[in-house]
C-alpha cells in the first residue's frame, strides 16, 4: 500500500525530473524550428513528436513544466511568508492591528483574483513578474486568515495561559504551541495554493495574457496547438496531461498520510 502523500511526492518528483532532464534528451532547443518536420508523430529522436512549426514537443513541454511549476511554487512561498507573519502578529497583538489586517484582506478579496493578475499583466504584457506578483497578492490572504484564526484559538487555550503563568516567553509559546498547530495546516494550504497557481497560469496563457510566443507555457501551448488537434491529437494531449499531473500531484500532497489516505 502506498500512501496518498507519498504518491503525490513521487509524481511531483517525476515531473521535476522530466523538466530538468528532458532538454538533454531532446534533439533540438525549445525555440528551434524545422518547417520540414511539422506535426510529426512520436519517434525515436522525438518521443513526443513535433508541433506545427517543427519544434520539439519534448523540449517545449519540459520548458513549460519548469516555468509553470517554478512560478507556482515561488508565488505560493512568497504569499505564505508575509501572510503567515502578518497573521501571527495580528493574532498576538489583536486590537487595531487585527482590524487593519482584516480590512486589508477584505479589500483584496473584494477583487477577483484573476482580475487582479489581468490588471498587472496589462502593465507588462508577456512579462513574468506581473503573474508572480499578482498570484502572490491573491494568495497571501488565505495564509493570513488561516494563521490569524488558528493562532487566536491556540493563544487563548489553557495550555498557553499556563505557560505564560509559568514565565515562558513568546518564543517558547510560538515554538511549542502555535507552530505545531499551524504547520500542518499551512503545508496543506500551500499545496492547494500552488495547484491553484498552476491552473491560473495555464488559464492566463490560454487566453493569451500570460507568457507570449515563442515562450513555452502549458496554457499557451494548448492555444497554439488546438487548431491541429484533429490531425495530430498527441501534441494537444501532451500539455493537458502535464497540467493534470501537476495539479493532481500538488492536491495529493495535501492529503492525510494515514490509513485513510492509502491507495492500492
pLDDT 10s digits, 64-98: 999 889 888 898 899 999 999 999 999 988 888 88
> Judging by beta carbons within 10 Å of its beta carbon (0-12, 13-18, 19+), is residue 57 exposed, middle or buried?
buried
- Give pLDDT, residue 214: 82
Mean pLDDT by 10 residues, the chain (264 residues): 78 91 78 86 85 89 90 90 92 88 86 75 74 85 92 88 84 88 90 87 79 84 89 90 91 64 38
Residue 131 contacts by C-beta under 8 Å, 6 or more apart in sequence?
A: 71, 75, 117, 120, 121, 201, 204, 210
- Give pLDDT, residue 259: 42
- Give pLDDT, residue 82: 92
- Residues 160 and 173: beta-carbon distance below 8 Å: yes
> Judging by beta carbons within 10 Å of its beta carbon (0-12, 13-18, 19+), is residue 44 exposed, middle or buried?
exposed
**In this structure, is residue 137 part of a structural domain?**
yes
Please report, in angstroms and rounded to a whole number, the separation of the first and last CA atoms in the chain. 5
- Give pLDDT, residue 135: 84
**In this structure, is residue 149 part of a structural domain?**
yes
Range of the domain at 84: 1-28+54-254
- Give pLDDT, residue 170: 85
Residue 96 belongs to domain with CATH number: 1.10.3720.10
**In this structure, is residue 101 part of a structural domain?**
yes
Measured between alpha carbons, how far is 132 from 75 in angstroms, rounded to an integer? 6
- Give pLDDT, residue 255: 61
Question: Which residues make beta-bridge pairs with 3?
Answer: 262
**In this structure, is residue 96 part of a structural domain?**
yes
- Per DSSP, which regions of the chain are E strands? 2-3, 262-263
**In this structure, is residue 42 part of a structural domain?**
no
User: 131-143 b/e with 16+ CB inside 10 Å = b?
Assistant: bbbbbbbbbbbbb
Q: Which three cell numbers stand for residue 24?
A: 538533454
**In this structure, is residue 44 part of a structural domain?**
no
- Please give the radius of gyration of the chain, using alpha carbons only, rounded to the nearest integer: 22
pTM: 0.81
How many domains is the chain built from?
1
- Give pLDDT, residue 211: 77
Measured between alpha carbons, how far is 152 from 169 in angstroms, rounded to an integer? 17
**In this structure, is residue 66 part of a structural domain?**
yes
**In this structure, is residue 263 part of a structural domain?**
no
Amino acid at each position: 500500500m502506498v500512501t496518498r502523500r507519498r504518491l503525490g511526492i513521487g509524481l511531483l518528483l517525476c515531473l521535476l525530473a522530466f523538466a530538468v532532464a528532458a532538454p538533454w534528451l531532446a534533439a533540438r532547443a525549445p525555440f528551434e524550428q524545422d518547417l520540414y518536420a511539422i506535426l510529426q508523430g512520436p519517434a525515436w529522436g522525438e518521443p513526443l513528436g513535433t508541433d506545427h512549426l517543427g519544434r520539439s514537443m519534448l523540449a517545449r513541454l519540459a520548458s513549460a513544466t519548469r516555468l509553470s511549476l517554478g512560478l507556482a511554487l515561488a508565488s505560493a512561498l512568497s504569499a505564505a511568508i508575509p501572510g503567515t507573519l502578518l497573521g501571527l502578529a495580528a493574532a498576538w497583538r489583536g486590537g487595531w492591528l487585527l482590524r487593519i489586517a482584516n480590512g486589508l484582506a477584505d479589500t483584496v478579496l473584494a477583487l477577483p483574483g484573476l482580475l487582479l493578475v489581468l490588471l498587472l499583466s496589462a502593465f507588462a504584457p508577456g512579462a513574468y513578474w506581473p503573474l508572480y506578483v499578482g498570484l502572490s497578492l491573491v494568495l497571501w490572504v488565505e495564509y493570513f486568515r488561516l494563521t490569524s484564526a488558528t493562532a487566536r484559538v491556540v493563544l487563548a487555550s489553557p495550555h498557553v495561559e499556563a505557560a505564560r503563568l509559568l514565565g515562558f516567553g513568546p518564543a517558547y509559546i510560538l515554538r511549542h504551541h502555535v507552530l505545531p498547530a499551524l504547520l500542518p495546516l499551512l503545508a496543506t494550504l500551500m499545496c492547494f495554493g500552488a495547484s491553484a497557481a498552476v491552473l491560473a497560469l495555464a488559464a492566463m496563457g490560454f487566453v493569451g495574457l500570460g507568457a507570449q510566443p515563442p515562450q513555452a507555457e502549458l496554457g499557451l501551448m494548448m492555444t497554439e496547438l488546438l487548431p491541429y488537434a484533429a490531425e495530430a491529437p498527441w501534441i494537444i494531449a501532451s500539455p493537458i496531461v502535464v497540467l493534470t499531473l501537476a495539479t493532481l500531484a500538488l492536491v495529493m500532497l495535501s492529503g492525510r498520510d494515514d490509513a485513510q489516505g492509502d491507495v492500492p
